[in-house]
Amino acid sequence: MAKVKLPDGKLLDVPDGTTIGEIAQKIGAGLAKAAIAAHIQGRTVDLSTPVKGEVDLRILTTKDPESIEIQRHSCAHVMAEAICRLWPSTKLVYGPTVRDGFYYDIDLDEPVRPEDFERIEAEMNKIVTADSPMKRIEVSRQQALQKVAGDPYKTDNIQRATGDVISFYSHGDGFADLCRGPHVPSTGKVGFFKIMSVAGAYWHGDASQKMLQRVYGTCWPTKKDLQDHLDRIEEAKKRDHRIIGRQLDLFSFHDEGPGFAFLHPKGMIVWNAIIEFWRKVHDRYGYSEIKTPIILNEALWHRSGHWDHYKENMYFTTVDEVNYAIKPMNCPGGLLVYNTHKHSYREFPMRVAELGLVHRYEASGQMHGLVRVRQFTQDDAHIFCMPEQIESEIIGVIELVQELYGAFGFKDYHIELSTKPAKHIGSDEIWEIATNALAGALKHKGLAYQINEGDGAFYGPKIDFHIEDCLKRSWQLGTIQLDFSMPERFELVYTAPDNTEKTPVMIHRAILGSLERFLGILLEHYAGNLPLWLSPEHARVMPISEKTNEFAERLVVRIKQAGLRSSLDASSDKIGAKIVRAHADKVPYMLVVGPKEAEADSVSARIRGGQDSKIVSVQQWIEMTKNKIAEKAMDLAI
């Protein structure tokens, strides 16, 4: 008999070989109907999985957050069958899940067009309505290779797979595809879906290989969840930072520099406001700031390990017959600065920050406005410390992260701890020490986190911070990376308390990440209605007629002398047109002045997005606005 322990501690005795689906039925018909998959002994498995011996079991339904990934992966298979039905010559490559959905890469000479999406969805609905069982088939590696003989894609996938047992999943009228699983028990449980787009994709991302078609879809547990997602997408289109950037004249892109952002005067105001605040906070947290060159000798990148692990993303140049690389990261330059002097433990921890301009190659099809560029400024910092200072320094960085994100209005974020990847430098012992130090700091702060096995940087484990914007989209911003290896490569030392030379621990960290990307995220989060302290223009003065132009001109001067940003709309347009223009330019305050306001030294103040006006004295408005900016206030109420 198998002994099954449920999450509530209850024990069930069932015959060995009983499937999880049968156990769900034993527990209750409602659970059996809602069940999607299960966790058993820490693994996610199909409901058809048999149990044996003593096991811990948790049955998953659509109410469990893990279930949506299983539904999406299963929905990808349903889409693959639908495409094969419509285009029988289709060769399937692979179909993983992605954020909010899934895709399938296919080899098909005939292009799939947006007008085909409804046909695909209709065929998928037929497959879902049939509610066919999704069956797992396990075979040996040799049998699997025989099964896919002649298919270069599936043969390659099998050769890349680990283990001696290879699995396929079948459903419907003989459809089967190579897959690790798990899947929902039948096609009727894949959820609610929609085909979203189609794009080109090279096999394994190799431009020398054949161009495939990548069909994207989305899938959600309920019809309402799907509609909410589609509504968010429509709202996101309205908030596209590329459109807002043009409308507000903040930045532009040009064919002469693809992937390189050109910041305009108004964009630079926002940029400098971010940097000014960043510098004040870092100064308060005990950071010094440096600046290192953009181009450094190629030998440096061999020494740092970037040549072996990152060269495909780097740019190179030759000067005086010597090879150089344009830096993709700031750390090697910071290490050279450290080595210009001898250091004592009494100087530790050393917190050294750099707003470093870096360049990384991105394929043209992957670039996207400010959020995916080839040149960006990273708000980097490197902390040099002793091993016993690691946890307290990580805690300090976490507190800095919380303060910075809060000032920009981001209160919701989740944390991921990424561990040793297959391709790495440094010993297993060092990696274990580093990983435990990061986990210890998170536990000290009482922060929940998710573990990403094998997703660390090649030189050390890392903590990543993912913020959530107003559309519930997740953006990875901050990162904290612990590095024992690079200080050894660069022979960094300090004089320890026992007067011996030791190698310092190095903490890499960035909070906002790419400043260009962060600006794009801000614009979309606020739909261009930036917080007052970040707005390129705090107020626009608008005289009702030429009679008050002189007062309006003096008022703009007074506002600027108070350290606020203001402009004058002295056009001959009617005041209604001026207000509409200011709303379109997303100016926080519109200050309307006429003869009465000029006589009383006051303004009729209107708030961005509002229709009501309030008469206040000029001095009162100036003091109120300065206080709101100093407090990083989000509201504009007068």
Check residue 567 and give its pLDDT: 97
Check residue 301 and give its pLDDT: 93
Residue 225 pLDDT level (bands cut at 50, 70, 90)? very high
d(CA 380, CA 330): 7
Res 425 pLDDT > 80:
no
What's the maximum distance between 2 C-alpha atoms anywhere in the chain?
95
Q: Indicate which residue of 71, 213, 375, 378 is catalytic.
A: 378
Question: Is 331 one of the catalytic residues?
Answer: yes
Q: What residues does 194 pair with on adjacent strands?
A: 218
Q: Indicate which residue of 327, 382, 525, 586 is catalytic.
A: 382
For the beta carbon of residue 300, count every other beta carbon within 10 angstroms. Answer: 18
Per residue, the 3-state secondary structure of 516-537, as one string, reads HHHHHHHHHHCCCCCCHHHCCC
For the beta carbon of residue 534, count every other beta carbon within 10 angstroms. Answer: 21
Question: Is 380 one of the catalytic residues?
Answer: yes
Check residue 605 and give its pLDDT: 97
Question: Is 462 one of the catalytic residues?
Answer: yes
Check residue 309 and give its pLDDT: 79
Question: Is 473 one of the catalytic residues?
Answer: no
Of the candidates 357, 384, 389, the one whose C-alpha atom is nearest the C-alpha of residue 373 is 357
Within its chain, how far is the Cα of 120 from the centroid?
A: 30
Q: Average model confidence (pLDDT) for the chain?
A: 93
DSSP 8-class letter at 375: E
Q: Indicate which residue of 508, 509, 525, 578 is catalytic.
A: 508
| The CATH fold of domain 67-236 | Threonyl-tRNA Synthetase; Chain A, domain 2 (3.30.980)
- Mention every residue, 6+ apart, whose C-beta is less than 8 A from residue 15: 1, 2
Mean pLDDT of 261-269: 97
Residue 434 pLDDT level (bands cut at 50, 70, 90)? confident
Mean pLDDT of 53-78: 94
- Architecture of the domain made up of 258-292+343-525: 2-Layer Sandwich (3.30)
More confident residue, 484 or 562: 562
Within its chain, how far is the Cα of 349 from the centroid?
A: 30
Res 246 pLDDT > 80:
yes
Question: Is 241 one of the catalytic residues?
Answer: no
Q: Indicate which residue of 380, 464, 469, 483 is catalytic.
A: 380
Q: What b/e string do you get for 621-634 counting C-beta neighbours within 10 Å, with b at 16 or more?
A: bbebbeebbeeeee
| The CATH fold of domain 2-61 | Ubiquitin-like (UB roll) (3.10.20)
Mean pLDDT of 217-240: 94
Res 160 pLDDT > 80:
yes
Mean pLDDT of 110-138: 96
CATH fold match for the domains 2-61 and 67-236: no
Check residue 413 and give its pLDDT: 86
Mean pLDDT of 228-247: 93
Question: Is 508 one of the catalytic residues?
Answer: yes
Residue 172 pLDDT level (bands cut at 50, 70, 90)? confident
Residue 635 pLDDT level (bands cut at 50, 70, 90)? very high
Q: Indicate which residue of 100, 331, 351, 420 is catalytic.
A: 331
Check residue 162 and give its pLDDT: 83
Task: Sort 637 into a burial class: Cβ within 10 Å, 0-12 / 13-18 / 19+.
Answer: exposed
Check residue 107 and give its pLDDT: 95
Edge-to-edge strand ranges of the sheet holding 288-289: 288-289, 350-359, 375-385, 505-514, 474-483, 462-468, 413-418, 450-452
* pLDDT tens digits, one per residue of 438-472: 999 999 999 999 999 888 887 789 999 999 998 88
* pLDDT tens digits, one per residue of 352-386: 999 999 999 988 878 899 999 999 999 999 999 99
| The CATH fold of domain 532-630 | Rossmann fold (3.40.50)
On whether the CB atoms of residues 415 and 448 are closer than 8 A, the answer is yes
Check residue 205 and give its pLDDT: 76
Per residue, the 3-state secondary structure of 329-363, as one string, reads CCHHHHHHHHCCCCCEHHHCCEEEEEEEEEECCCC
d(CA 542, CA 587): 12
- Mention every residue, 6+ apart, whose C-beta is less than 8 A from residue 108: 83, 87, 89, 90, 91, 213
Check residue 208 and give its pLDDT: 80
For the beta carbon of residue 98, count every other beta carbon within 10 angstroms. Answer: 12
More confident residue, 161 or 133: 133
For the beta carbon of residue 572, count every other beta carbon within 10 angstroms. Answer: 7
Check residue 317 and give its pLDDT: 95
Mean pLDDT of 536-541: 98
Task: Sort 99 into a burial class: Cβ within 10 Å, 0-12 / 13-18 / 19+.
Answer: exposed
* pLDDT tens digits, one per residue of 390-418: 989 999 999 999 999 999 999 888 999 99
* pLDDT tens digits, one per residue of 586-599: 999 999 999 999 99
Q: Indicate which residue of 73, 154, 462, 525 is catalytic.
A: 462
More confident residue, 76 or 174: 76
d(CA 154, CA 91): 9
Question: Is 231 one of the catalytic residues?
Answer: no
Instruction: Work out whether the CA dihedral 479, 482, 485, 490 comes out positive or negative.
Output: positive
pLDDT above 90 covers a percentage of the chain that reads 82
Check residue 406 and give its pLDDT: 94
Check residue 428 and give its pLDDT: 85
Length of the chain: 638
Check residue 166 and give its pLDDT: 94
Check residue 68 and give its pLDDT: 95
Res 622 pLDDT > 80:
yes
Check residue 1 and give its pLDDT: 85
Mean pLDDT of 18-45: 92
Long-range CB contacts (< 8 A, 24+ apart) of 206-213? 207/363, 210/107, 212/93, 212/105, 212/106, 212/107, 213/105, 213/106, 213/107, 213/108, 213/111, 213/112
Res 351 pLDDT > 80:
yes
For residue 204, the one-letter residue type is H
Residue spans of the domains in the chain: they are: 2-61, 67-236, 258-292+343-525, 532-630
Residue 201 pLDDT level (bands cut at 50, 70, 90)? confident
Q: What residues does 217 pair with on adjacent strands?
A: 102, 195
